[in-house]
């Protein structure tokens, strides 16, 4: 999926009901915020190198995120899928977490 504007998943949404993160790649070209809000289950890859990805209350994320900035707020569960490391555009990217669970990406 290619997104040129804003991207948000809200309230009890499930992205990718097949639950295989490799089946959904969301490529976002904008610089705005990408929002996952309130009881969302997301299975996939978010590739948003110029955007900020914000995961809010009750999000369960299975897959991978590449963004300019990633923030986890209030009871977010993040499960990195190691099988995604074979995706070509993720080569050379390292995810570094700090003690507040905000993350930065090191290229």
Report the candidate in 83, 37, 82 with the shortest Cα–Cα distance to residue 60. 37
> What pLDDT is attached to residue 14?
73
pLDDT in tens, 60-99: 889 988 899 888 887 888 888 888 877 665 555 555 444 3
84 within 8 A of 90, measured Cβ to Cβ: yes
> What pLDDT is attached to residue 106?
37
> What pLDDT is attached to residue 28?
92
Question: Rounded distance, CA 50 to CA 72, Å?
Answer: 17
Q: What is the pTM of this model?
A: 0.77
> What pLDDT is attached to residue 50?
92
> What pLDDT is attached to residue 8?
87
Mean pLDDT on 30-51: 89
Q: 92: which 2 tokens?
A: 């050379």
**Which backbone phi and psi does 16 adopt, to 5 degrees?**
80, 80
């Amino acid at each position: 999926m290619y997104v040129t504007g804003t991207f948000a998943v809200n309230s009890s949404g499930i992205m990718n009901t097949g639950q295989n993160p490799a089946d959904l790649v969301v490529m976002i070209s904008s610089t705005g915020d990408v929002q996952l809000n309130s009881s969302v289950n997301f299975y996939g890859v978010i590739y948003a190198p110029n955007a900020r990805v914000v995961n809010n209350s009750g999000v369960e994320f299975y897959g991978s995120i590449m963004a300019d900035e990633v923030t986890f707020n209030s009871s977010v569960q993040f499960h990195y899928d190691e099988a995604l490391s074979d995706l070509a555009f993720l080569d050379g990217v390292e995810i570094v977490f700090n003690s507040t669970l905000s993350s930065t990406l090191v290229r």
